[in-house]
Structure 1
Amino acid sequence: MQLPWMSRTDRRHWKSARTTAALGELMAQWLEGSISSRPGYTPRYGPEDETRPLVPTLAALCRAGYVTTCSQPGLVGWGADDAWWEQRAAVEGVVTDPVLLHRLVDAATTAGLLVRTIDYSRNAPGEAPIPVTTRNCETAGEFGGRISEADMAAQWRGLNPDLHDEVSHGTYVIILAPEYGPTGNRLWRILAGSVQEVGHAA
């Protein structure tokens, strides 16, 4: 199935990927702006403005094998709607390499970050999602809920079938700062350090 409004060149890129490493490289290129569209996201749109400072770290994570699908920085402040917004730094993505999985989880838990893993190779029920964004002290965004089969299919639509099967049955890792606000942005330094160690070990 073709992705609507995605360019023919971009469709070829995503369809040609055969490994998680290739998928991570493509996701990094989308984050950096050299690919205009990615599966599961509004076609021909890049990362949100608030994500741009995180791009170097997110791209490094993707290239290391933690293929991120959703992220946000830690922020507090008044929004354009005159409401008070608070965010936890948070990231979610798929990992298929068990060595990297343990490295990420160990680094995050040692640093006091919140970690949740969801193994989609099993049909175990998911835990309740964790609030990560509030608007006027009411929950406005969550991470960590189990993705439905329909949403998983939409998230990776257009991939090679074998790769689609691999990532849709991989382990999704959700890592969050326990605190709201910019202090939680230490998360990015911790994760960047963990994947650098993997690269050095290789």
Structure 2
Amino acid sequence: MRSLPGHRAHHRPHPTLTDRTAVLATANRAGFLILAAQAGLTHGTLQQRAAVQGFVSEPALIRRLVDAAEQAGLDIALNDWLDAEYDGPGTGFTVTTGDGHDVIFGQALGLADLKAMWPKLPHAVDGVASALQITLADPQFGPSALLWGALAAATGPAAPSPAPKIMCWECGCTFQSNCADGCIGGVQDQDDGRCPACIDPSVVIDWSTNCDGEEKECRLCGAPFFHAGAYCSLGCEAADGYGDQNEDEDEQPSPAAARPHVSDPDDPWATSPF
């Protein structure tokens, strides 16, 4: 867009914003449609605060902008066109003073204001009417990088997140292959990188003291266990083909073997070899 009503046509950014064009362009590409921006400065009686105001539709970007602004201690104004229609423009806050004509940012814009900005672009008016109007300003007059740093942090590319640790670096267990009874879920402390059993061995259940049943031997691997069935784990049962079909009648199936029949008998895929 080459110009807006009330702005000089075909004019480049103000010289005081030359060093800020990169962060402003990044913010626009991220979804913060910036309507106006100014740098902080002092020149004689003229005092000016760094400030930006514009439109944002994406909720995640709104949260990032507000969070960054609050952490930096910036002045924040949030409005929509309904605020202007029902409550008026509001007071906003003065960002330029001392030259006989104060400049105010942060006032709510109504539909009439939006139509005046884009008089021949009704689709643009529809787009910004549903967006949130956001204004951010440095709390102090004069040169400052506070606003620009917060804007860059909120709209710049996010730092890549480290890959989650899923294998215990001490014993090698994962959430699918736990190292012992009581060690459930693999690595749960991402900072430590070990499973609960390696961090605190007391979490491992000693079935010889916690189970009244007799010790049994896994049919496949020979490991001792104390629960019902013929296998120590689901893995052993699956690896052994769910056990011998001619299993003794008095042998109770393990919990892993109890699988409900969900196939439709009329379903041709139920008997498919594939």
The question of a shared fold, defined as TM-score above 0.5 by the shorter chain, is answered with yes
Name the structure with the higher helix share.
1
Structure 1 segments unaligned to the other structure (5+ residues)? 1-13, 15-36, 79-83
Q: Which has the bigger relative contact order, CA under 8 A and spacing at least 6?
A: 1
Indicate the residue corresponding to 1:146 in structure 2: 108
Q: Is the 8 A contact 1:64 1:199 kept in 2?
A: no
Q: Contact (CA 8 Å) 2:56, 2:132: kept in 1 or not?
A: yes
Among all aligned residue pairs of Structure 1 and Structure 2, give the percentage whose two residues are the same amino acid: 30
Question: What one-letter code is carried by the residue in structure 1 that aligns with 2:150?
Answer: I
CA distance in 2 between counterparts of 1:90 and 1:62 reads: 15
How many angstroms does 1:155 deviate by?
1.5
Assess if the C-alpha contact under 8 Å between 2:95 and 2:104 holds in 1: yes
Aligned counterpart, 1:57? 23
Cα deviations by residue, 1:46-71 (Å, 9 ceiling, x for unpaired): 22222222111110100000010101
Give the conservation status (yes or no) of the 8 Å contact 1:39–1:154.
no
Aligned partner (choices 14, 31, 38) of residue 3 of structure 2? 38
Relative to structure 1, is the Cα distance of residues 105 and 181 closer, same or farther in structure 2, using a 3 angstrom cutoff?
same
* Equivalence map 1:1-202=2 (5 Å): 37-40=2-5, 41-78=7-44, 84-120=45-81, 123-125=85-87, 126-135=89-98, 140-159=102-121, 161-183=122-144, 185-197=145-157
Residues 91-145 of structure 1, C-alpha deviations (whole Å, 9 max, x = no match)? 0000011110111011101211111110225644242121111116x66211111
Q: TM-score normalised to the size of structure 1?
A: 0.69
How much does 1:165 deviate?
0.6
Structure 1: distance between partners of 2:156 and 2:108:
29
Q: Which has the higher strand share?
A: 1
Cα deviation per residue 1:152-192 (whole Å; 9 max; x = unaligned)?
A: 11212343x33421213311100011111113x31101111
Kindly name which structure, 1 or 2, has the bigger radius of gyration based on alpha carbons. 2
Matches of 2:106 and 2:28, distance apart in 1: 19
Moved over 6 A (4+): none
Structure 2 runs not aligned, ≥5 long? 162-274
Q: 1:103 to 1:191 in 2, by over 3 A?
A: same
Q: Partner letter of residue 25 of structure 2?
A: A
Supply the RMSD in Å over aligned alpha carbons: 2.3
Aligned residues: 158
